[in-house]
Structure 1
Amino acid sequence: MTAMPIPSATPSARAVVTGASSGIGMALAWALAARGHSLILVARRGDILEDLAAQLRTTHHVAAEVRAVDLSDAAAVEVLCGELAEREISVLCNNAGIATFGAVSDLDADYERAQVRLNVNAVHDLTLAVLPQMVARGSGGILMVGSAAGNMPIPNNATYAATKAFVNTFSESLRGEVAAQGVHVTLLAPGPVRTETPAAEDASIVDRMVPDFLWHSSAKVAEMSLDALEHNKMRVVPGTLSKAMSVAGGYSPRAIVAPIVGTFYRKLGDG
C-alpha cells in the first residue's frame, strides 16, 4: 500500500504539540512551523509558550495558539479535548510526559498517579478527541512519543516504564486500525535527548551517567520523527542506547535484564 502524506499545512488546520515548553516538544513545534504548519502549543508553562508562539509567528509566519494546560488534571484535559474535537487538527504530537526514579514504595504516591494521568490518560483522551475527524477526512498524522523503556521491565523506573509500554502498544495497535484510512501513526521511542550539552557544574545525575556520544539532539530527533510520520513508518528509534534497549527488551530474558537495568535506574533515583 502506498502511504499518503500527512495533511499539508493550511490556514485553518492546526498541528497540536503537547509538552511544547521544552525538549522534544519545543523542537517539534519549531520543525512543524518550519514546514508551514500553524500550531496549538500545550504545556503547563504558559509564559514559555507565549514566548515560543511569538518567535514562531515572527520567524515562520504561522499562527500559533497557546493552551496553558496541566495534562495530569483530568478536568482540564476534558476541556481541551472538547475544543480539539471541534477544531481542524491535522497533526497531533503526543509528547508530554514525566518520569520518576526509585522504588515505588519510596516515591510520592500522588505524583505517581499524576504520572499515569499525564503519560497514559491524556495521551489516550487527546487521541480519541481528534481521531474521528482524521478518519472522516481520510488524512491526519499522530506522533506518539513512547520510549525504549516501554519494551522491558525497569525496576526503579516502574511507573514510567509501564506508562510507556501503554503508549508503545497503543500506538502500534492503533496504526493497524487506521492504516487503510489515510491516517498515519508513528511511534517515537527515543533514548537520552537534550537540547545542548550542559556545563560540568550544571550536569544532572543523568548527564553524568550517560556518555555524551549516546545523547541525541532534540532538534534532530524532531526532524527524524516528522520525516518518519510523513512516510508512515511504524517506529522511529533514534540513538544507539534506545536501539540497544529495544533489542534487549525484545530478545533478552526479562529475569536477567530487569536486575541489571534496575541497578542503573536506582542510581538515578539516588542522584
Structure 2
Amino acid sequence: MGDFAERYGPVAVVTGASSGIGRSFAVQLAGRGLDVVLVARREDRLRALAAELRDAHGVSVTVLPADLADPGAAGEILEAVAPLDVGLLVSNAGFGVKGTFGEGDAAALAAMLMVNCQAPTQLAHGLAPRLRRRGRGGVLFTSSVEGLMGCPYSAGYSATKAYVNALGEALWAELSPAGVDVLTLCPGATDTEAPLLQGVDPTTLQHLMSPDEVAHAALEHLGGGPTHIPSAHYRNLFDTLLAMPRRDALAAMARSMGK
C-alpha cells in the first residue's frame, strides 16, 4: 500500500465519483492512503462521500461539483487542481445511450460525446505534462468492452469507448518511458445505476461484477497496461468475437442485441 501511494500519490483526481465504479475508486484510493479530488454533478453525494473518507482514512478530500457535458468543465477542474500534486487521474465519468441509432435524442448523444470523449481528452492533456515532469504517476481511463468493436444498438456509446481505448493505448506508449502508467479499463456488465439509466432491465444481465471488484482489478493492474478487461467471461466472449470475420461477428451481435 505504501508503494502504491508513493508511486501514484499524493493526490488522485476521480471523475464520476458520486456512484458506481467511480465511488469505488475513491473509497479504495483513500484506503490506500491517497488524498482524493471528487468530481461529479451531484454535490450532495460528493460531500457525504468526502465526510466518509475523511472519517475512515484521515485523508484530505476536495469536492468539485461539475457537469462534464459542459465544454468548460474540464478546464475548470484543471484550474482547481493546479496547486495540488496530482499523481493519478482516474477519468471514470461516462454514460451510454442504447437503442436504434437515429431514433434517440440528439442532445443526449452530443452530451455523451462531451462526457465520454472530450472531458477525458482535456483532463489527460492538462495533466500529462505535470506527470511527465514528476517521472511517476498514472492515468486510468474507464472504457468498456463495447469499445473493442462496433456494437449494434449501442453505436454512439460504442464509438465513444473505442475513442477512449485508442487514446489510452496511445498515451500508454507515450508516457510509459517517462515512468507514467496508463491503463484503459474495459468492464463488461457492472452492477451500477447505468443499466437502468440506459433503459436496460438489470435482471436480464448476466455475469455482473460489482463496482468494488472492477475498481480493485483496475488498481491492481494499473502498472500492466495498456488495457485490462476485469471479467473472465467478457475476455473470452470478445476474444471469440474478435477472432471471427468482422461481418459475422457484427451480424451475430445485431441479432443478439435486437432481441
Aligned partners of 2:67 and 2:241: how far apart in 1? 31
Q: Determine the structure 2 residue equivalent to 1:207.
A: 202
Classify 1:266/1:89 alpha carbon distance in 2 versus 1 (closer, same or farther; 3 Å).
Answer: farther
Any idea what the Cα deviations from partners look like across 1:83-142, whole Å, max 9, x if unmatched? Answer: 334431111101100001112210100110100010000000000111100001101111
Aligned partners of 1:7 and 1:140: how far apart in 2? 9
Q: What's the offset of the Cα at 1:72?
A: 0.9
Aligned partners of 1:80 and 1:195: how far apart in 2? 25
Q: What's the offset of the Cα at 1:227?
A: 1.1
Matched, 1:32 2:33: no
Matched, 1:256 2:248: yes
Classify 1:118/1:205 alpha carbon distance in 2 versus 1 (closer, same or farther; 3 Å).
Answer: closer
Aligned AA (1:224):
A
Conserved? CA contact 1:186–1:236, under 8 Å:
yes
Aligned AA (1:217):
S
Conserved? CA contact 1:33–1:60, under 8 Å:
yes
Conserved? CA contact 1:188–1:225, under 8 Å:
yes
Aligned partners of 2:123 and 2:6: how far apart in 1? 18
Matched, 1:81 2:78: yes
Residue identity (%): 34
Q: What is the TM-score with the length of structure 1 in the denominator?
A: 0.87
Conserved? CA contact 1:194–1:217, under 8 Å:
yes
Q: What is the TM-score with the length of structure 2 in the denominator?
A: 0.91
Aligned AA (1:183):
V
Matched, 1:60 2:57: yes
Aligned AA (1:27):
S
Aligned partners of 1:19 and 1:89: how far apart in 2? 17
Conserved? CA contact 1:193–1:218, under 8 Å:
yes
Query: Does 258-267 or 151-160 show the bigger shift?
Result: 258-267
Aligned partners of 1:236 and 1:78: how far apart in 2? 28
Moved over 3 A (4+): 4-10, 263-267
Q: Determine the structure 2 residue equivalent to 1:115.
A: 112
Classify 1:123/1:85 alpha carbon distance in 2 versus 1 (closer, same or farther; 3 Å).
Answer: same
Q: What's the offset of the Cα at 1:9?
A: 6.6
Q: Which runs of 5+ in 2 are unaligned?
A: 194-198
Aligned partners of 2:174 and 2:62: how far apart in 1? 31
Conserved? CA contact 2:8–2:136, under 8 Å:
no
Aligned ranges for residues 179-258 of structure 1 at < 5 Å?
179-194=176-191, 205-211=200-206, 214-229=207-222, 231-258=223-250
Q: What's the offset of the Cα at 1:8?
A: 4.3
Q: Which runs of 5+ in 1 are unaligned?
A: 197-203
Q: Number of paired residues?
A: 252
Aligned partners of 1:6 and 1:191: how far apart in 2? 28
Q: Select which of 61, 67, 71 maps to 2:68.
A: 71
The CA RMSD measured in Å over matched residues stands at 2.0
